[in-house]
Amino acid sequence: MDSIAGNFLLVRADALSLLLPLDGIGAAGYLEEEPKATELPGLFTTGHADQSRFVIAPSGRLRPLAHYPAARFVVTPLAFEGKNILVAWSEMKVLIAARFDVHELPPAATSHGSPVRGYVRMGGRPVFRTDPQRLLGFMFSGAGPDD
């Protein structure tokens, strides 16, 4: 079992909890209006004209939600392939100077292209460890919205 220490972002999408390294993640924000759908299912925009930004809301399976849930107004900008994508969460916390024991995922629960690298436990529940590249790479990997 490995240990990790540092500053982290703890986020939740429905029942799914994720732990990301805080380094490189922009300041969290709040959406003041419901994002608008784009031609791409699961991808939304917020803001006006040249100020608009893409928004995506992960499901509990880490797939883009097809319909934007009104309760997802907390967003964090995550860098992906040269763009900052706003990712909308059910809940978000910043953890400073935290330390965790990391458990490996059982081989049966992993697959090629898995977006998570092990998990830590908080309150008995698994919090899956990932990073912006893996997270958004998986969400944009082509399976499309499933919720």
Residues that bind other proteins in the complex, under the rule CB under 8 A: 15-16, 60-63, 103, 105-116, 119, 121, 124-126, 128, 138, 146
Closer to other proteins by CB, 97 or 108: give it. 108
* Amino acid at residue number 98: A
Beta strands (DSSP E) in the chain are 2-13, 16-21, 29-30, 36-37, 44-46, 53-56, 74-80, 83-89, 91-102, 119-122, 125-129
Nearer to other proteins, 63 or 72 (CB): 63
Shortest Cβ distance from residue 131 to other proteins (Å)?
13
For 142, phi then psi, to 5°, come to 110, -10
How many other CB atoms are found less than 10 A from the CB of residue 76? 22
Smallest gap from residue 45 Cβ to other proteins (A) = 25
Judged by beta carbon, residue 48 or residue 112, the one nearer other proteins is: 112
Least Å distance, CB 6 to other proteins, is: 22
